[in-house]
C-alpha cells in the first residue's frame, strides 16, 4: 500500500490525512495499491451505517465498478499512458479520503455526531464524488485497449458522478430536527417526552446502555479537542445523551460496557507539590510531559524546541543526552490532569486554551445546564424510591456524571444525592456499596460535597467501609474519599479522632493492591498535616511499613508518596526516633542518589534535616559517616526547587559544623532527651 495507515482511534473525525502518490511511483505499484484501496472501500458495504446510508452505498458502488477497470488492466498487463497514471494518482488520493469518510460514518460511538453533522458529511461526499468524475474525464480509455464492456461501465460511472444528486437523506433530516427540538426544549426548561427520545435512539440503533455510553465518550473526546465555536453545541449533545442514558435505559449491560472505571476506580492520588508539574524550561504547567535519557521530565513542546536548537545536553542537569528519544510520562500527565480537574485550572496548549472536560465549572450551553438539572432530580428520586437494581444503576450513573465535570457535581449535590448515597454504604450488596462509595468520592471533590458529607454524619459511614467494606475496591475507594475530605483543615482532626480510621488505613497499606497502598499512604499524609494526628499515625506502626515500601516497591509514585509521609512524620520527635531505630539512613541515602524525582529528593533531604534537628549530633554523626551524601546534597542545591535547595543548604551547614566540631576533638553530643537510641 502506498498510503500510510492511520489508527482509527488516533485520527480525529473529519480529518483526512491522505497522501498523494509520489511522481516517481511505478504504474504497477500505483495500480496494485488502487486495487487494494478499492477492495478496502468495498468492505464498508457490510459495515453498519446509522446515517448516510444512500450516499455511502453510492460511493462504494461506483468505486466497485472502477475496481473492475483496475483489475482488467492488472490482469492483462496493459501499459498505462502518462495521462492515465496522472488520473490514477488523483483517484488514489480521492479514494483515501473516501475511505476515511466511510470510516467516520461507521465509527463506533459517533452516530449522533455524524447525524448532526449531516450537511458537512454530504458536502464531503459531493466534493469527493465530483473529484472522481473530474479525474475520469482525463482518463484516455480509447488508448488503453480496454474491452468495450468495461469501457462502457467506466463511462457510466463518470457520467453518474458528474450528475449525482448527493443530498441529506429525508429520514436523517427528520431525526436531526427531532434532536434539535429536544435541545430547544431543554433550553426553555421543559422536559422532553420519553417517546421522542426513544424514537431518536431507535433510529440511530442505540439499543443499550453501553451503546449510549460510547456516544457520550466520543462526544467528550470531541469536546476536549474542538474549536471554541463548537463547544456549546457539543455540550448540548452531551447533555442530551447523558439524559437519554439515565432516562431510557433501566439496566447496565456490564458485559459490553467499559469496565476500566468499574474494576479499578482508584483515583490517581499523590503527595506531589503542584510546582513539580511545571516544566523546568518554560516554568508552565506541563501539557504533555516527556522524560529524556537523563531521567528529567519536560513539556514536550519545550524540550523539542531545545533539541531543534541543536542542544545535546539535558537543560536541567547539564548531562549529555545519550539519545533524543522522548518517553511520555503518562503517570505524571494523569496527576497534572487530576490536579487541574480538582482545582478548575486551565492549561495553555499551542497558543490556545485546551478544554479538559473535568475542568468545567460552568456548563457549556443553556441546554446542557437544564438537561443536567433535570437529570440530577431524576437520579436523586431513584436513589430514594428505586428498587435495589435501580439504586445500583443510579449510583453508577452518579459516579460517571460527577467524574465528568465540576458543574455536574454541583447539580448532583444540590439535588440532594449525598444523604441517600451515604445510606447505601451499609448495603450488603457488593456492587451497590462499591458504586455508592465511588460516587461519594467524586462528589467529595466539590467543596459543598465535603461539607454535606460531614454534616450528615458521613465520616463514620465512610470509615466503616474502609474498615469493613465488602470488597477491597470499596475499601480503597473509601481511603481515596478520606484523602479528599482531609483537604479541609477542620476535617482532619474529626477524621483522625475516629478510632478506626488510622489503623484501617494502615491495614490497607499492608493488604491492598499497589493502587490501594497508594491511597492509604496519601490518605494518611492528608491526615498527618494536622499535628494532632501524627502521634496516632506513628503509634499505628506506619513508619516500618513505609520503610518496607521504599525498600521493596517498584512503583516510583508509591515510593515518592511514602517518602512524603515519612518526611511529615519525621518532623516530630517520636517520628525521628522511629526512623533512627530502624537504621534507615542508608536506605534514604540510596533513594536520594538514585531517584529521578525532584519531589523524592526533596523528601529525602527533609527526612535527614528533621532527624538531624530532632536527633542532635548522634543523628548527624550517623549521616556524616556516608561521605557520598554531601555531593547529593550539593546537587539538590543547584537542581532542586527553591524549598529543596534551602533545606539542602541547612543540612550541609549542619554537617560542616559537625565535622568542624569533631576535628576539634569535642566529639559527638548525646541526645538532649534522656532516652538512649540505637541509630546504626
pLDDT at position 667, please? 44
pLDDT at position 671, please? 35
pLDDT at position 5, please? 45
User: In the CATH hierarchy, which top-level class contains the domain 280-361?
Assistant: alpha beta
Output phi, psi for 352, to 5 deg. Answer: -135, 160
Between CA 646 and CA 90 the distance in angstroms is 65
pLDDT at position 224, please? 78
| Residue 360 CA: distances (Å) to CA of 106, 238, 587, 661, 677 | 30, 13, 43, 59, 54
Residues near 437 by Cβ (< 8 Å), separated by ≥ 6?
Answer: 425, 462, 465, 469, 474, 477, 478, 481
Flag residues of the chain having pLDDT under 70: 1-10, 254-276, 317, 338-339, 341-360, 663-680
Largest Cα–Cα distance in the chain?
A: 110
pLDDT at position 334, please? 72
Contacts 24+ apart (CB under 8 A), 195-200: 197/243, 197/244, 197/247, 197/248, 198/248, 200/175, 200/244
Whether 280-361 and 553-658 share one fold: the answer is no
CATH topology of domain 553-658: 1.25.10
Domain segments of the chain as ranges: 27-167, 280-361, 553-658
pTM of full prediction above 0.85: no
Q: What is the secondary structure of 43-95 as a DSSP string?
A: GGGGS--SS-HHHHHHHHHHHHHHHHHHHHHHHHTPPPPHHHHHHHHHHHHHH
pLDDT at position 123, please? 96
pLDDT mean across residues, the chain: 87
pLDDT at position 346, please? 53
Cβ 511 vs Cβ 471: under 8 Å? no
Cβ 381 vs Cβ 247: under 8 Å? no
pLDDT at position 647, please? 92
Which tens digits make up the pLDDT trace of 108-143? 999 999 999 999 999 999 999 999 999 999 899 888
User: Which of 664, 668, 634, 663 lies closest to 651 in space, CA to CA?
Assistant: 634
Between CA 51 and CA 55 the distance in angstroms is 9
pLDDT at position 658, please? 86
pLDDT at position 677, please? 34
Between CA 311 and CA 321 the distance in angstroms is 9
pLDDT at position 253, please? 83
Amino acid at each position: 500500500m502506498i498510503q500510510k495507515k492511520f489508527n482509527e482511534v488516533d485520527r480525529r473525525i473529519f480529518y483526512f490525512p491522505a497522501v498523494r502518490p509520489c511522481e516517481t511511483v511505478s504504474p504497477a505499484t500505483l495500480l496494485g495499491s488502487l486495487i487494494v484501496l478499492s477492495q478496502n472501500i468495498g468492505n464498508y458495504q457490510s459495515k453498519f451505517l446509522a446515517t448516510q446510508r444512500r450516499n455511502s452505498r453510492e460511493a462504494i458502488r461506483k468505486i466497485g465498478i472502477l475496481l473492475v477497470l483496475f483489475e482488467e488492466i492488472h490482469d492483462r498487463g496493459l501499459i498505462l499512458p502518462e495521462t492515465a497514471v496522472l488520473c490514477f494518482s488523483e483517484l488514489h488520493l480521492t479514494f483515501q479520503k473516501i475511505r476515511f469518510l466511510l470510516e467516520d460514518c461507521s465509527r463506533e460511538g459517533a452516530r449522533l455526531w455524524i447525524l448532526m453533522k449531516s450537511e458537512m458529511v454530504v458536502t464531503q461526499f459531493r466534493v469527493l464524488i465530483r473529484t472522481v468524475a473530474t479525474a475520469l474525464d482525463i482518463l484516455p480509455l480509447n488508448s488503453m485497449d480496454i474491452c468495450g464492456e468495461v469501457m462502457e461501465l467506466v463511462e457510466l460511472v463518470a457520467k453518474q458522478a458528474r450528475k449525482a444528486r448527493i443530498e441529506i437523506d429525508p429520514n436523517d433530516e427528520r431525526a436531526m430536527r427531532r434532536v434539535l427540538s429536544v435541545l430547544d426544549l431543554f433550553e426553555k426548561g421543559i422536559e422532553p417526552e420519553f417517546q421522542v427520545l426513544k424514537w431518536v435512539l431507535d433510529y440511530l440503533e442505540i439499543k443499550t446502555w453501553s451503546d449510549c455510553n460510547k456516544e457520550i465518550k466520543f462526544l467528550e473526546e470531541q469536546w476536549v479537542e474542538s474549536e471554541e465555536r463548537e463547544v456549546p453545541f457539543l455540550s448540548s449533545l452531551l447533555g442530551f445523551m447523558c439524559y437519554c442514558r439515565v432516562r431510557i435505559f433501566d439496566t447496565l449491560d456490564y458485559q459490553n460496557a467499559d469496565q476500566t472505571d468499574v474494576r479499578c476506580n482508584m483515583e490517581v492520588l499523590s503527595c506531589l507539590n503542584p510546582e513539580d508539574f511545571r516544566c523546568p524550561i518554560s516554568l508552565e504547567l506541563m501539557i504533555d510531559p516527556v522524560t529524556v535519557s537523563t531521567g528529567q521530565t519536560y513539556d514536550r513542546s519545550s524540550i523539542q524546541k531545545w533539541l531543534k536548537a541543536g542542544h545535546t545536553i539535558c537543560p536541567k542537569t547539564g548531562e549529555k543526552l545519550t539519545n533524543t528519544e522522548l518517553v511520555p510520562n503518562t503517570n505524571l500527565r494523569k496527576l497534572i490532569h487530576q490536579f487541574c480537574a480538582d482545582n478548575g485550572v486551565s492549561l495553555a496548549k499551542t497558543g490556545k486554551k485546551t478544554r479538559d472536560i473535568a475542568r468545567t465549572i460552568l456548563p457549556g450551553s443553556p441546554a446542557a445546564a437544564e438537561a443536567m438539572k433535570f437529570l440530577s432530580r431524576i437520579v436523586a428520586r431513584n436513589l430514594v424510591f428505586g428498587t435495589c437494581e435501580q439504586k445500583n444503576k443510579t449510583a453508577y450513573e452518579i459516579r460517571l456524571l460527577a467524574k465528568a465535570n465540576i458543574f455536574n457535581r454541583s447539580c448532583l449535590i444540590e439535588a440532594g444525592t449525598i444523604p441517600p448515597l451515604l445510606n447505601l454504604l451499609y448495603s450488603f450488596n457488593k456492587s451497590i456499596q462499591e458504586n455508592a462509595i465511588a460516587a461519594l468520592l467524586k462528589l467529595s471533590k466539590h467543596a459543598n460535597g465535603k461539607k454535606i458529607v460531614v454534616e450528615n454524619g458521613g465520616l463514620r459511614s465512610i470509615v466503616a467501609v474502609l474498615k469493613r467494606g465488602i470488597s477491597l475496591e470499596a475499601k480503597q475507594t473509601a481511603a481515596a474519599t478520606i484523602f479528599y475530605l482531609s483537604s479541609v483543615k477542620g476535617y482532619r482532626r474529626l477524621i483522625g479522632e475516629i478510632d478506626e480510621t488510622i489503623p484501617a488505613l494502615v491495614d490497607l497499606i499492608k493488604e491492598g493492591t499497589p493502587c490501594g497502598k497508594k491511597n492509604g499512604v496519601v490518605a494518611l499524609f492528608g491526615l498527618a498535616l494536622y499535628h494532632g494526628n501524627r502521634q496516632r499515625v506513628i503509634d499505628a506502626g506506619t513508619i516500618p511499613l513505609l520503610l518496607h515500601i521504599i525498600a521493596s516497591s517498584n512503583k516510583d509514585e508509591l515510593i515518592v508518596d511514602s517518602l512524603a509521609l515519612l518526611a511529615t512524620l519525621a518532623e516530630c520527635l517520636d517520628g525521628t526516633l522511629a526512623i533512627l531505630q530502624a537504621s534507615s539512613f542508608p536506605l534514604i541515602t540510596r533513594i536520594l542518589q538514585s531517584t529521578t524525582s525532584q519531589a523524592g529528593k526533596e523528601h529525602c533531604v527533609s527526612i535527614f534535616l528533621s532527624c538531624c534537628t530532632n536527633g542532635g549530633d548522634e543523628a548527624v554523626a550517623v549521616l556524616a559517616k556516608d561521605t557520598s551524601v554531601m555531593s547529593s546534597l550539593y546537587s539538590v542545591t543547584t537542581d532542586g526547587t527553591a524549598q529543596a535547595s534551602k533545606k539542602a543548604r541547612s543540612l550541609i551547614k549542619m554537617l560542616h559544623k559537625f565535622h568542624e566540631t569533631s576535628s576539634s576533638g569535642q566529639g559527638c553530643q548525646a541526645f538532649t532527651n534522656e532516652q538512649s537510641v540505637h541509630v546504626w
